[in-house]
Amino acid sequence: MMQAQDLLRLKEIARRTRRLIIESVAEAGSGHPGGSLSAVELVVALYFHKMRHDPKNPKWEDRDRFILSKGHAAPLLYSVLAQAGYFPVEELKTLRKLGSMLQGHPDFRTPGVEYCAGSEGIGLSVGIGLALAAKLDGKGYRTYVLLGDGEMQEGQIWEAAMAAVKYRLDNLTAIVDRNGIQQDGLTENIMPLEPLAAKWQAFNWNVIQIDGYDFEQIIDAYNKAEETLNRPTVIIAHTTKGKGVSFMEWSPQWHGQAPKKEQVSKILEEMGLL
């Protein structure tokens, strides 16, 4: 069980993260708010509770690794890394601008970024490479990979799903942001994914389904993944694209469109962040 105080702290960080996402994407004038907002709690729980990492020493060999395979959610990753202390929060204002360390999609020039994603479908395989190397080197670090649900339409995801089981990668956890929406519309209309849990089960993964906004469920799932031996775990997190901003929720339109700067204060007010 989590301490009530811990829970409050995580919730507060999640609120601030949403605010930073809205502000930075609006300032940039482009970007992907929907898929950034949908996975806030999942990533906050990793960086502020679960993962062993050191913002003062981003290259620490034994750190746990996080790969944002759905790289378009970069504003989420950057907002979390900044709050964790990898770089000043003010940097977020430079998102997507010429010369910024905060590229439109994750890039090695940002401290704390583990992998340059942007082309969907690749991150889980890279995670397998990291997890294999950890075993080779006798290291205890864990690797977490956040996937979009639309991203799972890429065949490579399922190639990776097979490989992770072959090598019994119990140090690898995949997290699926199951928000039901991709760029053109609903996943189940564009290219149906269901029955999704059964697919992963058939590939012999340990499958856990959770509410992607309940910190206790999230952390419990991360712990169970760590306790599970000899096979990888996938956490299917049921989420809402655009979570927290009423007009963005469940709207494919807000997948890749920035709010106008004039809209920001209204959004923050509605979210109780002003």
Partner 1 sequence: MSKTSKMGDMRTGYGEALAELGSMRKDVVVVGADTTQSLKTSLFGYKFPERFFNIGIAESNAVSIAAGLALAGKIAFVSTYAAFIPGKCVDQIRNAIAYPNLNVKIVASHAGLSVGPDGASHQQVEDIATMRAIPNMKVLAPADEYSTRRLVFAIAESSGPCYMRLARPKSPVVYDDARFAIGSSNILRDGSDVAIVACGLMVAEALDAADILAQEGISCRVIDMYSIKPIDSDAIVKAARDTGAIVTAEEHNILGGLGSAVAEVVCEHAPCIMKRVGVKDTFGESGEHDELLAKYGLKARDIASAAREVVRLKR
Ligand X SMILES: Cc1ncc(C[n+]2csc(CCOP(=O)(O)OP(=O)(O)O)c2C)c(N)n1
Binding-site ranges for Mg ion (CB under 5 A): 148-150, 179, 181
Give residues in contact with ligand X (CB under 6 A): 34-35, 38, 70, 72, 118-121, 148-151, 177, 179, 181-183, 241, 255
- Min. distance of Cβ 229 from Mg ion in angstroms? 31
Query: Could you tell which of partner 1, Mg ion, ligand X, none binds residue 70, using a CB distance below 5 to 8 A set by kind?
Result: ligand X
Query: Could you tell which of partner 1, Mg ion, ligand X, none binds residue 153, using a CB distance below 5 to 8 A set by kind?
Result: partner 1
Residue number with CB closer to partner 1 (186 or 273) = 186
123's tokens:
């991150």
Residue number with CB closer to ligand X (148 or 232) = 148
Q: Which of residues 213-252 bind partner 1 (CB under 8 A)?
A: none
Q: Which of residues 18-57 bind partner 1 (CB under 8 A)?
A: 28-31
Q: Which of residues 69-128 bind partner 1 (CB under 8 A)?
A: 71, 96-100, 102-105, 107, 116-121
53 to 72: interface string for partner 1, x by CB under 8 A: ------------------x-
CB 26 within 8 A of CB 33: no
Residue number with CB closer to partner 1 (257 or 263) = 257
Distance separating the N- and C-terminal Cα atoms of the chain: 32
- Min. distance of Cβ 70 from partner 1 in angstroms? 10
154 binds partner 1 (CB under 8 A): yes
Q: Which pairs count as long-range contacts for 106-111, CB under 8 Å and 24+ apart, including other chains?
A: 106/68, 106/71, 106/74, 106/77, 110/78, 110/81, 110/86, 111/55, 111/58, 111/81, 111/86, 111/87
Residue number with CB closer to partner 1 (228 or 257) = 257
161 to 200: interface string for partner 1, x by CB under 8 A: ---------------------xxx--x--xx---------
- Min. distance of Cβ 1 from ligand X in angstroms? 30
Residue number with CB closer to partner 1 (117 or 169) = 117
Q: Are strands 143-148 and 172-178 parallel, antiparallel or unpaired?
A: parallel
Q: Which residues bind to partner 1, rule: CB under 8 A?
A: 28-31, 71, 96-100, 102-105, 107, 116-121, 150-151, 153-155, 182-184, 187, 190-191
